[in-house]
Amino acid sequence: MKTRNLSPDFFLPRSVALVGASGEPGKVNSRAQQLLRIHGFTGKVFPINPRYKDLFGLPAYPTLLAVPEKIDHALIMVPAPAVHEVVRQCCERQVAAATIFSSGFAELGEEGAELQRQIVATARDGGVRLLGPNCLGLVNVPGHTTLSLNAVLEQEQLRSGPLSVISQSGSMLGALISRAQARGLGFSKLVSVGNECDIGVGEIAELLADDADTGAILLFLEAFRDSTRLAVAARRAFKKGKPVIAYKLGRSEIGRRVAVSHTGAIAGAAEVSDAFFQAHGIMRVDTMESLFELPQLVMGHKPPAHRRVAILTGSGGPAGMIADRLGTLGVEVAGPTEEVIRDLNEKGVKISASPVTDIPMGRNDSSYNMILSALLSSDHCDAVISVSGSSSQTNPQKIVDRVFVPERSKKPLAVFLAPRADEALALLGKQGIAGFRTPEACADSMRAYLNWRSPQSNESIRAGELAGPNAMLAATQRDSLNECESLGLFSSLGIPSTHCRVVSGPAEAVDFADPVAVKILSPDIVHKTEAGMVALNVVPADIASVVSTMLGDAAKKFPKAGIDGILVQRMESGLAEVIVGYRRDPEVGPIVLLGLGGIAAEVHANHSVRVAPVSLRTAETMVSEIPQLKTLAGFRNLPRGDCTALAHAIRAMSLLALVTPRVVSEAEINPLIVKRDGEGVVAVDGLVVLEPSSSPQQEAAGEN
Amino acid sequence: MKTRNLSPDFFLPRSVALVGASGEPGKVNSRAQQLLRIHGFTGKVFPINPRYKDLFGLPAYPTLLAVPEKIDHALIMVPAPAVHEVVRQCCERQVAAATIFSSGFAELGEEGAELQRQIVATARDGGVRLLGPNCLGLVNVPGHTTLSLNAVLEQEQLRSGPLSVISQSGSMLGALISRAQARGLGFSKLVSVGNECDIGVGEIAELLADDADTGAILLFLEAFRDSTRLAVAARRAFKKGKPVIAYKLGRSEIGRRVAVSHTGAIAGAAEVSDAFFQAHGIMRVDTMESLFELPQLVMGHKPPAHRRVAILTGSGGPAGMIADRLGTLGVEVAGPTEEVIRDLNEKGVKISASPVTDIPMGRNDSSYNMILSALLSSDHCDAVISVSGSSSQTNPQKIVDRVFVPERSKKPLAVFLAPRADEALALLGKQGIAGFRTPEACADSMRAYLNWRSPQSNESIRAGELAGPNAMLAATQRDSLNECESLGLFSSLGIPSTHCRVVSGPAEAVDFADPVAVKILSPDIVHKTEAGMVALNVVPADIASVVSTMLGDAAKKFPKAGIDGILVQRMESGLAEVIVGYRRDPEVGPIVLLGLGGIAAEVHANHSVRVAPVSLRTAETMVSEIPQLKTLAGFRNLPRGDCTALAHAIRAMSLLALVTPRVVSEAEINPLIVKRDGEGVVAVDGLVVLEPSSSPQQEAAGEN
């Protein structure tokens, strides 16, 4: 099945059919036709409903087939069971795209999902692209095109502007439109994607990255359905200087469950999404209004060099709220440098060196302008927040005048207004200055900007670096590797692993000089320690007798278990035990993970995650992100651990994303022991799970 | 100096003098007179300014002394250096209270603080109570009295209602008034306390607890200046069913620094404030708008039995935002029980068992009413959130009708509206239904309500329980106890401590059967381990020689150090090391603290804090709040620790708040070793610092 890519015409149909249009003004199915009219659609409109001869002044047709002219886009509003036939007619009429408003598909469970799959198959065969089902449609504001049933559009005059939105929740579109427009902000494209049966978030984001009217792409996400394509789109948008900003559900377990129940998609852990967003230059916000407040802060700017913000205010309490929250979010509030203070003093403006710069009461607005200009021009901060009190309400124009300095585009400038100040916020919005209504969204947006980084560059590998692992994987017939084979694969990636041997009986010679651990090798015995199937600190002279006893015990206790042999490996010790993991995440693809090993892993949830593969430098950052590993970097008089070797091991593990003969779905070293600085690391135990060998890498990558 | 308590008349002066009033309409000093007129003050107004004969139609007087009638309240707006003389005149005229708007006092540093102290002394001698300085005054809405210069009051018609606010930030008052009134909410009393030179937050809160027009007390705090009085007021308000809700700066280090620089007060760690709020039944919010959104949610309700909230919605995305954030805040989202589902089904309304109850699109509002009533009536949840989408904007009355069920007062009901829905929010406010503008404030308010507890009851002590420690402290002449004396004090409180002796030389006999630790006892040698002044695991036979060597080394390495002797104590070991601390916090008074011991204490910041003394049950809760101690409560096959003995030790430590002969300013056991279940705990090292013996308990307590 070959699918045509969406063309930019998707947003500009010249003729649309409204299938299932109603003639009753109050009914939702009559709304689409009204909205096209209200918002000035200049193309042709064909209402389809066999019960009408005409609808609100336009001739109505019994079916799509009866329409006498070419149809670019069909909006399908008939009940779910009737949708498939309409899609067939779309194929027959070679309609380029159809939006399915109707619900009753994958969001309801397996039966609906099957119906949805059948419809998609029909559409693909016929070359029709599908938006939805279960969606509120699309809006092209500068193109005066609304293919939507969103009630909010009846109330709102649409204002044209640079914001484009893709939302997995239909009602969030309306919420964003109504809130943002009251703030003087305008939109370009708005798309509710619903179940994403065919056209997904990523593909629309690709279109928007190239769309001349789009200056920023906003995403409201419940789960990723096509993260690979979204990654490509985000990188393209980044190159073109268009910020991509996401609000994604799933920070908490209950949030993930709700997202799943609502969409039928899989939602992964919050840190996996964070890793994805960071890897591809997407800013993630955690407050609703940041989604439309942040764009004006960042449009025209690049990711910051550091993470320091200056605050200027005439109102201590409101500025304190912002500073306090920034502090909890890990953002540095930077007071003015001596140079800034001196330069201003020479111009007759006195400020203090405290972290928040207070404008003394009664100072005129030209002092405010001068201080703000000085902060925007100085290298000691990467962004500036201006906080205003009651004048925001009593004198809205004054707020704009205060911040309307020529230097305002030098770095991101946020304006927070403490009272209700709708007029001042709207004025700021119209002037392209980022206004904020709550201290929480202001601080959240500033954090999002200051955490923004250029997309992670692809890790380059040395010639032949993957020859070893590729050879091993090519030779493997099974879908999982045992402990010893797994350690062998890690060794081939350059990760030092403990010396180990698999023996089948006590007679077999083993070459160990140091104490060893002896373990049963069996896929059928799970809790080996509890089952007495692990012996630690066995001296070489005792190995044969321990092996013999363990085989005997196993035969007695687990008569039905398949025994692959007995694993003998050198005992290792060091300063810390960590887990280094790799997996193909169902949402975002290959990721690498660093966490604490042993019981600590289950008690502390701390871990660091990145999209794989990673560079050595990224791996070093991951090590620094685990608070419990701080002691390894030198703490008091404790010995330092070999953090460099640990970072090398993380990078090496992440290269599993690039092996070719087989697809590694999951791999874990647990524990990897970190020794003293200079003494390296050693993998002690691990596992590797492969995708069934029938699915070669190429296909798997394509599916992602 | 005896100070009269404020009388309720403070809010209802019948005559006010405006000292420093101006005749120029645009000037801030002319505003107070305008505001009194605008807001309908019916008492007498005496403008004071020698440059005018009359001001805006009222006769003006050159000084307070020239006013021919009794003056209840003086609003002082003259420059700081002139304030003292005005206060003297207030004393002469027996003005009951004066509000000092003027700034230039303690907030500027020591010089201003000295001037402030002089003014307070004059006022106390003369029986005049002072509000401010550096404050925006007070407003009594139902009493039509504004003694304020707040610009926001020029714009806003004041709406009478149950909310009273005390704010340490003047501009926050204006911010709250303007935001809340747009939501249909009304106020009773509003007070900007400024530097609190005399009248503080606590004293005003006491008045408000008894004020018939006040239904809820809202606090915007930068730091505590009189926490003892605030505690009394909060408990009185709780008894009367008036919720006390606080937003306090200082969640982060930078927030504390900003609060300090702004107010000149000391701001302590966030968890100390949390402990104070919890101990006295105050709800703490972390979002600005929660401060006025939360009261309608909780007025008329008691603290909840559990922490479970039900969510009802027609819009998946917005409800997902709320659920997700509740999850990150540790609140349980409770789906409907089978009973609720069955009962509704019998009435013809089908809902699913998923955590968020979705109203299928197209269901009529009577179904919505029925489901909401069922949730409000069921015991499976402690509060309910109703989330609405586009109809909030298109049909505001529908939103009210949806939630206006007779059961709406059975438990707290929050309504979150996803689009801009100013009209619906105002309608809800007027109906006394708690509306929320952002998902963040909605979730934050719900968390604050569900974390609300009745004030901590005073811990009762057993007869004679403090006899031992009181006797020890009475006998102590010094202001700090050494390690061995400290352990003795902990023993007298019933906390098992390791066997220890202080010896002065190798000849002294010591009675140890087990290995010991040997340490130098000297206040002048700080890093004893690094200095080689600690020997561990010394067998009894070696004690004399180790003591001898250590004394010799100390004399060589630290010739100027005072040596109190050598500490010999039994080595102890167990499952975990913790710190149990006690101190008189400068903000909130006695607190008890539990944290991790050893290096873990510095790596992990986790600790649990309560206002002291605590009950055994509270101490047990503290143990459960440290994630790293989870293993002690039984984890996998790890041995269980003696958590009961640990809780007993925490409670015992907290009793230091009640000892009488001396005031303990700080005490710490570090480490307290927790042994296996049934084997108890043992204090291994510690310190105790006392207040200088000249300050007996009574005086210190009074200062708090």
Whether B108 is covered by a domain: the verdict is no
Residues A358, A336 share a domain: yes
Whether A522 is covered by a domain: the verdict is yes
* Both structure tokens of B109: 């540093």
Chain A residues within an 8 Å CB radius of B440: 287-288, 438, 440-441
Residues B562, B584 share a domain: no
Q: Is B13 helix (H, G, I), strand (E, B) or coil?
A: coil
Q: What is the pLDDT of residues B22-47, one digit of tens each?
A: 999 888 899 999 999 999 999 999 99
pLDDT band, residue B3 (cuts 50/70/90) = low
What whole-number distance in Å separates Cα of residue B216 and Cα of residue B220? 13
pLDDT band, residue B463 (cuts 50/70/90) = confident
Burial string for A550-589 (b: 16+ CB within 10 Å, else e) reads: bbeebeeebeebebbbbbbbbebebbbbbbbbbbbbebbb
Whether A77 is covered by a domain: the verdict is no
Q: What is the pLDDT of residues B105-160, one digit of tens each?
A: 998 888 999 999 999 999 999 999 999 999 999 999 999 999 999 888 988 889 99
Compute the nearest-CA separation of B298 from chain A (Å): 23
Residues B434, B310 share a domain: yes
What whole-number distance in Å separates Cα of residue B15 and Cα of residue B13? 5
pLDDT at B261: 58
Could you tell me if A320 lies within 8 Å of chain B, comparing CB atoms? yes
pLDDT at B264: 43
Burial string for B41-54 (b: 16+ CB within 10 Å, else e) reads: beebbbbbbeebee
Burial string for A338-365 (b: 16+ CB within 10 Å, else e) reads: eebbebbeeeebebeeebbbbbeeebee
pLDDT at A578: 93
Residues B600, B535 share a domain: no
Contacts 24+ apart (CB under 8 A), B698-702: B700/B584, B700/B663
* CATH number of the domain to which A673 belongs: 3.30.470.20
Q: DSSP characters for A183-219?
A: TT--EEEEEE-TT-SSS-HHHHHHHHHH-TT-SEEEE
**Alpha helix (H) ranges present in A165-314?**
170-181, 201-210, 227-239, 253-263, 270-279, 290-298
Residue B385: beta bridge partners? B311, B414
- In this model, does residue B696 exceed pLDDT 60? no
Whether B614 is covered by a domain: the verdict is yes
pLDDT at A672: 95
Compute the nearest-CA separation of A254 from chain B (Å): 6
Nearest to A625 by CA among A655, A595, A589: A595
Q: What is the pLDDT of residues B333-342, one digit of tens each?
A: 999 999 999 9
- In this model, does residue B2 exceed pLDDT 70? no
Whether A225 is covered by a domain: the verdict is no
pLDDT at A263: 45
What whole-number distance in Å separates Cα of residue B233 and Cα of residue A265? 52
Report residue B476 CA to chain centroid gap: 34
Whether A492 is covered by a domain: the verdict is no
Q: Which of B415, B431, B450 is the last residue of a domain?
A: B450
Residues B658, B535 share a domain: no
Taking one residue from A and the other from B, the number of pairs with CB-CB distance under 8 angstroms is 267
Residues A593, A539 share a domain: no
Could you tell me if B393 lies within 8 Å of chain A, comparing CB atoms? yes
pLDDT at A549: 92
pLDDT at B1: 44
Residue B169's closest chain A neighbor by CA? A317
φ, ψ of residue A477 to 5 degrees: the values are -95, -25
Could you tell me if B319 lies within 8 Å of chain A, comparing CB atoms? yes
Residue A128: beta bridge partners? none
Q: Which is higher by pLDDT, A1 or B71? A: B71
Compute the nearest-CA separation of B313 from chain A (Å): 11
Whether A364 is covered by a domain: the verdict is yes
What whole-number distance in Å separates Cα of residue A642 and Cα of residue A636? 16
Contact B52, B20 (CB under 8 A): no
pLDDT band, residue B363 (cuts 50/70/90) = low
Q: What is the pLDDT of residues B176-214, one digit of tens each?
A: 999 999 999 999 999 999 999 999 999 999 999 999 999
pLDDT at A151: 86
What whole-number distance in Å separates Cα of residue A87 and Cα of residue B569? 86
pLDDT at A310: 98
What whole-number distance in Å separates Cα of residue B63 and Cα of residue B85? 10
* CATH number of the domain to which B337 belongs: 3.40.50.261
Could you tell me if A160 lies within 8 Å of chain B, comparing CB atoms? no
Residues B414, B352 share a domain: yes
Q: What's the Cα-to-Cα distance from A481 to each of A465, A484, A490, A517, A661, rounded to whole Å? A: 21, 8, 11, 19, 15
Compute the nearest-CA separation of A146 from chain B (Å): 17
pLDDT at A5: 85
What whole-number distance in Å separates Cα of residue A458 and Cα of residue A658? 11
Per-residue three-class SS string for B522-534: CCCCCCCCCCCCE
Strand residue runs (E) in B114-262: 129-131, 137-140, 145-148, 160-167, 187-192, 216-221, 244-248
Residue B490, C-beta contacts closer than 8 angstroms, at least 6 positions apart: B497, B652, B653, B669, B683, B686
Mean pLDDT for each 10-residue chunk of chain A (704 residues)? 77 97 90 95 97 96 97 97 98 97 90 96 97 95 95 88 96 94 96 96 97 98 92 97 96 80 53 93 98 97 96 93 95 96 93 88 78 96 95 89 94 97 95 97 98 88 90 91 92 94 82 88 80 89 91 90 89 91 90 82 72 94 87 77 95 95 93 94 93 58 37
pLDDT at A597: 78
- In this model, does residue B425 exceed pLDDT 80? yes
pLDDT at B606: 76
Which of A254, A312, A624 should we substitute to test contact with B (largest number of B Cβ atoms within 10 Å)?
A: A254
pLDDT at B314: 87
Q: Is B262 helix (H, G, I), strand (E, B) or coil?
A: helix
* Both structure tokens of B616: 């055994």
pLDDT at A361: 59
Q: What is the pLDDT of residues B534-546, one digit of tens each?
A: 999 999 889 999 9
Residue A590: beta bridge partners? A584
Question: Do the Cβ atoms of A103 and B361 come within 8 Å?
Answer: yes
Residue B260's closest chain A neighbor by CA? A320
- Considering only CB atoms, B320 lies closest to which of A255, A318, A390, namely A255
Q: What is the DSSP letter of A464?
A: T
Residues A582, A679 share a domain: yes
Q: What is the pLDDT of residues B220-260, one digit of tens each?
A: 999 899 999 999 999 999 999 999 999 999 888 888 777 76
Whether A556 is covered by a domain: the verdict is yes
> In the predicted model, what is the mean pLDDT of residues B594-599?
79
Q: Which of A571, A588, A615 is the last residue of a domain?
A: A571
Q: What is the pLDDT of residues A517-528, one digit of tens each?
A: 999 988 788 778
Nearest to B140 by CA among B97, B77, B76: B97
* Both structure tokens of B345: 């089904």
- Considering only CB atoms, A627 lies closest to which of B170, B262, B604, namely B604
The shares of helix, strand and coil residues in chain B, as percent rounded to the nearest 5, are 40, 20, 40
Q: Which domain holds residue A616?
A: 576-703
Residue B95, C-beta contacts closer than 8 angstroms, at least 6 positions apart: B17, B64, B71, B72, B73, B74, B128
pLDDT band, residue B277 (cuts 50/70/90) = very high
Residues B402, B376 share a domain: yes
Tokens 């269980």 identify what position? Answer: B640
> In the predicted model, what is the mean pLDDT of residues B463-477?
92
Could you tell me if B250 lies within 8 Å of chain A, comparing CB atoms? yes
Q: Which of B519, B553, B571 is the last residue of a domain?
A: B571
* CATH number of the domain to which A567 belongs: 3.30.1490.20
Sign of CA dihedral B474, B480, B481, B486: positive
- In this model, does residue B501 exceed pLDDT 50? yes
pLDDT at A362: 60
What whole-number distance in Å separates Cα of residue B581 and Cα of residue B592? 6
Nearest to A193 by CA among A247, A137, A147: A137
Structural domain count of chain B? 3
Residues B508, B597 share a domain: no
Residues B503, B522 share a domain: yes
Q: With a CB-CB cutoff of 8 Å, which residues 602-621 of chain B face chain A?
A: 602-604
Residues A356, A327 share a domain: yes
Residue A637: how many other CB atoms lie within 10 Å? 8
pLDDT at B32: 95
What whole-number distance in Å separates Cα of residue A518 and Cα of residue B92? 94
- In this model, does residue B643 exceed pLDDT 70? yes
Q: Is B580 exposed, middle or buried (0-12, 13-18, 19+ CB in 10 A)?
A: buried
Could you tell me if B296 lies within 8 Å of chain A, comparing CB atoms? no
pLDDT at B263: 45
Burial string for B313-344 (b: 16+ CB within 10 Å, else e) reads: bbbbbbbbbbbbbbbbbebebbbbbeebbebb
What whole-number distance in Å separates Cα of residue B127 and Cα of residue B124? 5
Could you tell me if A149 lies within 8 Å of chain B, comparing CB atoms? no
